[in-house]
Amino acid sequence: MRRLWGVAIAIGVVVLLAIAGWDLLLRSPTGTATEGACPALAQGPLSVENTTADLGGVFQAGSIQAFGSNQTSILLGGLSAFDQSAVPFVSEPAAAELAGTPGSSAAINLTSLLAPYFSGGGIFPPVWNGSAWLIAGQTRVAGELEGSAVFLQGSRVTDLTSLLSPFFRGQGIFIAGWDGTGWLIGGNETSEASLVYLENGAVTNLSGLIPHNRAGDWVQVIGWNGAAWLVGGFGVFGTWSAGRYTDLYPTSAFTSGGVYALGWNGSAWLASGEPAVLEVLDGSSLTTGPGLSNWTTGWVSSIVPLAGGWLLAGASSTSDGKYNPRVELSGGEAGRGVLDVSACLPGAFSGGWVQFASGADPLPPGSVLLVGEGRTNPVTGSSHGAAATIGLPLDHP
């Protein structure tokens, strides 16, 4: 979900999937599907497999909040327990590693290794830089939340909390990214958006560059395209390059909500969030993209760019405060249509949402992993982690 206890939770670092040969020509231009009977694309059937059991119950009473890949394994972060009806709310961290693709091997439970650094909080963006994971989130100190982070190399953990927590007191670190030299890290500091750059053990505070940094704002998503950063969140949307921040928020479609999902398709950025609309940033030009299929409530929390289109994931909301997971495939061009495949998601997501989607290695070509949570009781917030793998009818590149 894009919010828990009134503050955003990280959706993870942007991971891109470009699959040659799929033009997303849909057999039906619009429509829905049912679980176990997913619709067919022009190239063949679409399949969805419930992979929640592959996680060995690590997130059984909590939620999966973020996904990271180092090309050979997948690292998932989130919560092992969460109860928002308690005052203060109750949460504990959880993490697991899949050494290969879902279903190929049992998950390695990393919770006991990492929990001491995130006690009373959660684990959000696992980011790989080629030699180590940066794992960040929040911990509870004297009853208050603050940012926490570690480097993980094999089983060796290096604590970064004392270095970063002064910039993320109040809620925590929600997102991070790597540009080949250093880390851009975002979250919330005393109810305002916080953004820092970490390089060789030195932290540069960039929060003052964000205009309109009001109480309640936060940074939730970060993307790097090889030349510049794009930063989004509640009240936050802008580019950062060569020390200059360019504010996009006032002219965007997200002034009543925030940017919670980014994707780079090789030539332009795709951005979405709440409201659930799609905007395209091509150079310095920001335009509203094609409409989504009756996605009038809720939010988009993840974008996976595809050759000729994209996969969008998140949730729709109902008037009584409940949620429904939502996934759409779009061709992105007039006449190609949008296909809503939400109904064929496994029941593990029922009453919840898709928090993050990725098609990065080691997932096989044509596969996208969806993670998030289902809710058995939307009133008390009782939840459980959920995962599914979508198989798209594509040839291996």
**How would you write the pLDDT of the chain (397 residues) with one tens digit per residue?**
344 333 333 333 333 333 333 333 333 333 344 444 576 666 677 888 898 988 889 998 899 999 999 989 999 999 987 665 554 556 899 999 988 766 667 789 999 999 999 999 999 989 999 999 999 999 998 888 899 999 999 999 999 999 999 999 988 999 999 999 999 999 999 889 999 999 999 999 999 999 888 888 999 999 999 999 999 999 999 999 988 999 999 999 999 899 999 999 889 999 999 999 889 999 989 998 766 767 888 999 999 987 667 889 999 988 777 889 999 887 644 335 678 888 889 999 999 999 999 988 888 877 899 999 998 776 666 789 999 998 876 432 2
Distances (CA, A) of 331 to 44, 288, 290, 337: 16, 15, 9, 6
State the alpha helices, DSSP H only, in the chain. 111-114, 161-164
Residue 157 tokens read as: 């953990």
Show Cβ contacts of residue 311 under 8 Å, excluding neighbours closer than 6 positions.
303, 304, 327, 328, 329, 357, 368, 390
Show Cβ contacts of residue 190 under 8 Å, excluding neighbours closer than 6 positions.
169, 170
pLDDT at 386: 95
| Closest CA relative to residue 371, chosen from 383, 352, 386 | 386
Rounded to 5 degrees, φ, ψ at 250 are -65, -25
Show Cβ contacts of residue 374 under 8 Å, excluding neighbours closer than 6 positions.
325, 347, 348, 349, 350, 351, 352, 383, 384, 386
pLDDT at 24: 36
Domains recognised in the chain with CATH numbers:
40-391 (2.130.10.10)
Does residue 55 sit in helix, strand or coil?
helix
pLDDT at 393: 64
Adjacency order of strands within the sheet including 108-109: 63-69, 74-83, 90-98, 108-109
pLDDT at 30: 35
Question: The whole model's pTM is what?
Answer: 0.88
